[in-house]
Amino acid sequence: MENKIKELVKKYKSVEIPSELNNIVKETIEMASVERNKKRSNRKKVGAVAATVAISTGMLFAGVNLNKTFAQNVGSVPVIGKIAKLFTFRDYKIHTDTLNGEIKIPAIDELKDDNLKKKINDEINKKVQEKIKEAKENAEDYKKAFLETGGKEEDFHPVSVKVGYDLKCSNENILSFTVYEYQTIASAYSEIYYYNIDLKNNKMITLKDMLGEDYKDICNKSIRKQIEERKKNPDNSFFDGDMGFNGIKDDQKFYINKDGKVVIVFDKYEIAPGYMGVQEFIIDK
């Protein structure tokens, strides 16, 4: 039995796995070692337990360590310390004669405040379902218009929709992520929702929380300066006057990056021509 466990340990060390899984496996090995040491007091009982632990350990190695791809995929689940985690709640595809979709809905877990967790998860799910419904209706309307204007059924290409999420910041204090939806009909359309959570105080983070009372002035000065820097590139262009940047909004979109800095976001066409895409500005306090 002891030789078998040593052999499994050797196999385990030969494959690199994420630190989260590595800790779990090490704990399992240590448990097996403890059980073996108990043989002196209760040989029969421990013999059964040790065999069970050895089998379980072997299954863990077979399912995790000896399958490097599996280990890496599991290890890629974004984990925020031991407090909260962001994971894929639902992952499915849509294939109809009018719509093709790839849907990946996130959810958060292990927040200290269950009410906040439920509120955020319910909101995300509601928004995603509304967007999927909207995409289906848009696709049906698009096909109808396509056929009514002389298009042929065999020439019609289904509308595409993609829903997913991006983790921006994960540590013991902050969880920041976005949920996005892209639709492609004749042109591309996107919508992004931003979630910034204070894990210590169990609340949504505001710009005031991050930058202080003068957050608007701090953001406006930084953004204006960065816009002027970007304009030095002849390929860049920004709107002027009423259509240009005139200060951040009360409900300004932003996220927190991996360095813990605020990133102000402006949608495509919001302050610059479409070819400039989404504009982001890192704010240094």
H/E stretch holding 181? strand 174-184
Query: pTM of the entire structure?
Result: 0.70
- 159-170/99-109 β-pairing: parallel
User: pLDDT tens digits, residue range 26-40?
Assistant: 443 344 443 444 444
Return the pLDDT at 235: 98
Return the pLDDT at 189: 82
What's the length of the chain?
285
User: pLDDT tens digits, residue range 171-183?
Assistant: 999 999 999 999 9
- Residue 106: CB atoms within 10 Å: 25
CA distances from 10 to 5, 29, 33, 52, 55 (A): 9, 12, 15, 19, 16
CA distances from 80 to 184, 192, 243 (A): 33, 22, 39
Confidence of residue 84 (pLDDT cuts 50, 70, 90): confident
What six digits make up the tokens of 22? 């590595």
Q: What's the rounded Cα separation, in Å, for the pair 204 and 115?
A: 13
